[in-house]
Amino acid sequence: MKAKDIKAITMVRNDRFLRKWVEYYGAQLGRENLYVYFDGEDQEVPDFCEGVNTAKVPKMQGDVVSTERQRSRFISDRASELFAEGAGMVIATDADEFLVVDPALKTGLRDFLSSLPPYPCHSGLGVDVLQHLSTEGKIDFSRPFLSQRHRGWLYSRYTKPSVITRPATWGGGCHRVKGHNFHIAKGLYLFHFGGVDLEYLREISVDEARVANGWTRHQLKRQRAIEKVGRVEAGEWEPLVKLMRSMQTVCRPIFAINKPTTFGLKFVAKIPDRFRDIV
């Protein structure tokens, strides 16, 4: 099997997760295959982006919903350009989202994705990693997150079709691919770290630029998720992952038949130690 030419795209504005995104996907795919777009020409390209394809674009205007849709259209257009240049696959994630292959499979992200069937898009099972307030302290961004956080909410919102194999159009937030079903790859996970630290969430919830764009409600929702999920007992990883992959493959919300759902049920699992040094 020949490994495919796989590109990864993200778009950021003052995002603290970007360094980890660059380091992780750079190690998996090569920095020359990463594309980082800075939302706003006032942004500075950090030194750690050396070797990465970077560009500043005019700042997206509007509220959270509007800007998310604009970003998704922009990223879809850039992905189409990469396919025209010969890319075999394109990954699009936020800077706090990491596609991870189960270490038990002993293969890297490029080889794993190259081995998948030629569906239009592929999803990792969504794992929302949230701070457990009673047992976990402030996050250290310089260390692997999964060595500091040990519980994951198997949340359908983050079972996103992050990988496409041909030109396609992502919906807002890249939560779906328009006109196509999703396919959850066995052994692939999308770890989301947006709620990894309550103190960090409180800091950015008062940021003037974010407040102006209507992000306050979104950040408060994440804070409440930390508190709510912290009261859910964590179960064993393997059986819950199997159950959630099956449930999310079958169950769909009425308003979006190409998105997965668990109908509001919260399943929290203990993240195995084999993941601890990956992200």
Confidence of residue 206 (pLDDT cuts 50, 70, 90): low
Alpha-carbon torsion angle 237, 160, 258, 110, nearest 10: -90
> Does residue 211 have a pLDDT over 60?
no
Q: Which residues contact 30 (CB under 8 A, 6 or more apart)?
A: none
pLDDT in tens, 88-97: 999 999 999 9
> Does residue 212 have a pLDDT over 60?
no
**Alpha carbon 263 to chain centroid, angstroms:** 21
pLDDT in tens, 119-128: 999 999 999 9
> Does residue 202 have a pLDDT over 90?
no
% the chain with pLDDT above 70: 95
pLDDT in tens, 226-246: 988 889 999 999 999 999 999
Domain boundaries, the chain: 6-275
pLDDT in tens, 31-53: 999 999 999 999 999 999 999 99
Would you call 50 exposed, middle or buried from its count of C-beta atoms within 10 A (0-12, 13-18, 19+)?
exposed
Mean of pLDDT over the chain: 92
pTM to 2 decimals? Answer: 0.94
Q: How far apart are CA 237 and CA 13, in angstroms?
A: 34
Q: Alpha carbon of 133 to those of 22, 71, 225: distances in Å?
A: 28, 33, 12
Most confidently predicted of 100-104, 202-206, 221-225: 100-104
